[in-house]
Chains A and B, each alone.
Chain A
């Protein structure tokens, strides 16, 4: 059992990467496997610095492939283990994530997005949205929380561990290097003081019970002989995924109730949207925000209702519409016109959005 660092509510001024390490400890994570890649390095730096106090474990692996697969080993051994990565590391870790998806392994990973494709830039983007939700040769049986700041990072890292172990789908914290590297105040707490009970993490390898006496040996596999056998398994997964979605899907609305223009954004871009919304509201323009917190699964009904209430929508991302593609699929049948402000790998500012919304209002395409 690891030692908890935070017992009393403690307000601190930290970088997001530090917050993730503290939150993992608060969630009683026992082991981190990791490989360096910017901009997530300080998660493991902090984790390692705290090891004498937490008595947790750490292994610096030879690459993200091994970080992913050794995390799976730690989880199967019954530990609350996790990893973190970004960019090209996220690409090659898909090998392990896909195995976790097939074997219903509660794999937890913090993805601190950087620019792409390829090596690109090292600090910021929202271009791993699609990869994190749908990477691998599968169907995207994954849960992805997109955070917008440090309190989110603390709250949702704790939540991610419980979501993963409760529903047994790989669960991701999707943030970015801006969140990872900037400092903000954050209220840290012991989850127990908020009534949060951590899910148990039973071992599947060297499980409880004597083989041949109390139980049969566990034979865990990700390979099937027959196509129909595979489909039967995956249909079961889909059923579980649909049932889980109703309980797990989260969203935030900001001044969306009477909004004529609805901005749809996730992560840190949603914060820029709030700045823009406040400024535009002062000018009498009714703008609001719909921010999916789980970008997979999406909170479909609240999303459709918010869109139905508005006259026009604006998708904005630091990517070329990766979230918008997922959202538009769920808006099938609605005819609300939409505009886009996509800045591939570049931050979206409040001013960018104010300019864009004013342009939309002055445009002849605006629905009266």
Chain B
């Protein structure tokens, strides 16, 4: 006789269980990133100190994903809302969650200035190399030759410029004594969680963290499982996955 295990799914307490199924498309990387973040907040016991802000685009679908106080903002404007919170209420672990468009295009002035000032917050940027919510247009991080709705013949870097490398840019302008800057990937969840743990720990200690996570968008990429992760592997060749800046004392 087969004994059925009747166990509830393992869900971090920082994840909101009341919303039911995730609102993201099947195969999307956002859920992996957010669940990893929720586990890290659980592990560090920071649920009561944390505030989550989400941008426009697919990231806005996370507006009730987390079981912590959350504000959904405008496109590109999550960074200033969250440093507005942490400036006003020091000790808050402020997290600004956005896509590659929100961070590196429409909100890039905030990313640059928050990095230069090394604001006490985490900017968590999901890079899936396109604008998902609006139907798959070219974003600042679209790969050379990548087909999108606005580069139907492949991204031509001669006319559109080269893909933006967010983590490298941020690493070059932050105050290295109090900043943690890394690029991670949804291909290795254990490593992603370790990276997020360092990022959140640094913020809880008063520092600035920026984590760009290479992610997947099978719907707009029009890829099956195998091709999705093959493309992610190519992205990892183009966008270096590593810790760029680690302040002294942060392990």
A contacts, CB < 8 Å to B: 30-31, 33, 57, 59, 61-63, 65-66, 68-74, 76-79, 81, 95-96, 99, 203-207, 210-212, 216-223
In the complex, are the beta carbons of B16 and A74 less than 8 A apart? no
Identify which of B76-84, B144-152, B164-172 touches chain A.
Answer: B76-84
A294–B131 alpha-carbon span in the complex (Å)? 43
CB-CB nearest in chain A for B91: A206
A sample of 15 more A-B contacts (CB under 8 A), given A211-B47, A219-B16, is A59-B83, A66-B109, A66-B113, A69-B80, A69-B84, A76-B85, A78-B88, A78-B89, A79-B89, A204-B69, A205-B92, A207-B69, A217-B67, A219-B64, A220-B72
Query: B113 to chain A: which residues have CB within 8 Å?
Result: 61-62, 66
The answer, among A73, A95, A218, for a CB contact under 8 Å with B84, is A73
- Are the C-beta atoms of B110 and A217 separated by less than 8 Å? no
B162 within 8 A of A: no
B87 touches A31 (CB 8 A): yes
B88 touches A221 (CB 8 A): no
State the Cβ distance, B173 to closest chain A Cβ, in Å: 13
Q: Which of A59, A65, A204, A205 contacts B77 (CB 8 A)?
A: A65
Chain A hits for B83, CB < 8 A = 59, 70, 73
A206 near B51 (CB under 8 angstroms)? yes
B71 close to A (CB within 8 Å): yes
Most buried by B among A57, A61, A66, A71: A66
Query: In residues 43-102 of chain B, which contact A (Cβ within 8 Å)?
Result: 47-49, 51, 56, 60, 63-64, 66-74, 77, 79-89, 92
CA distance A99 to B79 in the complex (A): 15
In the complex with contacts A69-B77, A73-B83, A210-B88 CB distance below 8 A: no
Q: What is the distance, in angstroms, from A51's C-beta to the closest C-beta of chain B?
A: 13
Instruction: Answer whether residue B228 sits at the interface, using C-beta atoms and an 8 A cutoff.
Output: no
Chain A residue numbers with a CB within 8 Å of B80 are 61, 65-66, 68-70, 73
B interface with A by C-beta (< 8 Å) = 13, 16, 18, 47-49, 51, 56, 60, 63-64, 66-74, 77, 79-89, 92, 109-110, 112-113
Q: A30-B88, A62-B110, A73-B80 are in contact. Are A206 and B73 (CB under 8 A)?
A: no
How far apart are B163's CB and chain A's nearest CB, in angstroms? 24
7 tightest CB-CB pairs across the interface, nearest first? A73-B84, A70-B84, A74-B88, A62-B113, A66-B80, A69-B80, A77-B89
Partner of B85, one of A63, A66, A205, A217: A205
Taken together as a complex, chains A and B put the C-alpha atoms of A204 and B92 apart, in Å, by 13
What are 27 A-B pairs with beta-carbon distances under 8 A? Answer: A61-B80, A61-B113, A62-B112, A65-B109, A66-B80, A66-B110, A69-B73, A69-B77, A69-B80, A69-B84, A70-B83, A70-B84, A71-B84, A72-B84, A73-B86, A73-B88, A76-B71, A76-B84, A77-B51, A77-B84, A96-B74, A206-B92, A212-B67, A217-B16, A218-B70, A220-B71, A223-B63
Asked if B48 contacts A210 (CB within 8 A), the reply is: yes
Question: Which one of B49, B56, B81, B92 has the highest number of Cβ atoms from chain A below 10 Å of its Cβ?
Answer: B81
Q: How far is the CA of A72 from the CA of B84 in the complex (A)?
A: 7
Q: Which of A68, A72, A217 contacts B69 (CB 8 A)?
A: A217
Of B51, B88, B92, most buried by chain A (CB within 10 Å of CB) is B88
With a CB–CB cut-off of 8 A, which chain B residues contact A31?
87-88
B93 — nearest CB in chain A belongs to which residue? A206
B154 CB → nearest A CB, Å: 33
Q: How many angstroms between the C-alpha atoms of A205 and B86 in the bound complex?
A: 10
A13 to B49 CA separation, bound complex (whole angstroms): 45
Check if A222 sits within 8 Å of B72, measured CB to CB. Answer: yes
Cα–Cα, bound, A217→B13 (Å): 12
Is B51 in contact with A99, judged by CB distance below 8 angstroms? no
Task: Chain B residues near A223: list those with CB within 8 A.
Answer: 56, 60, 63, 72
Tell me how far the C-beta of A85 lies from the nearest C-beta in chain B, rounded to whole angstroms.
14
Task: Determine the chain B residues whose CB is within 8 A of the CB of A81 once the complex forms.
Answer: 84, 88
B82–A206 contact, CB under 8 A? no
Residue pair A218, B69 in contact (C-beta under 8 Å): yes
Cβ contacts under 8 Å, B73 to chain A: 69, 72, 99, 222
| Residue contact B84 to A74, C-beta cutoff 8 Å | yes
Minimal Cβ-Cβ distance residue in B for A203: B89
A76 to B18, CA, bound (A): 23
Chain B residues with CB below 8 A from A204, complex form = 69, 71
Q: For the complex, what is the distance from the CA of A210 to the CA of B68, rounded to whole Å?
A: 10
User: Chain A residues near B79 (CB, 8 Å)?
Assistant: 66
A99-B74, A221-B63, A222-B72 known; A206+B89 contact, CB < 8 A:
yes
What separation, in Å, do the CA atoms of A66 and B76 have in the docked complex? 10
Please report the C-alpha to C-alpha distance between residue A237 and residue B74 in the assembled complex, in whole angstroms: 20
- Give the chain A neighbours of B84 by CB distance below 8 A: 33, 59, 69-74, 76-77, 81
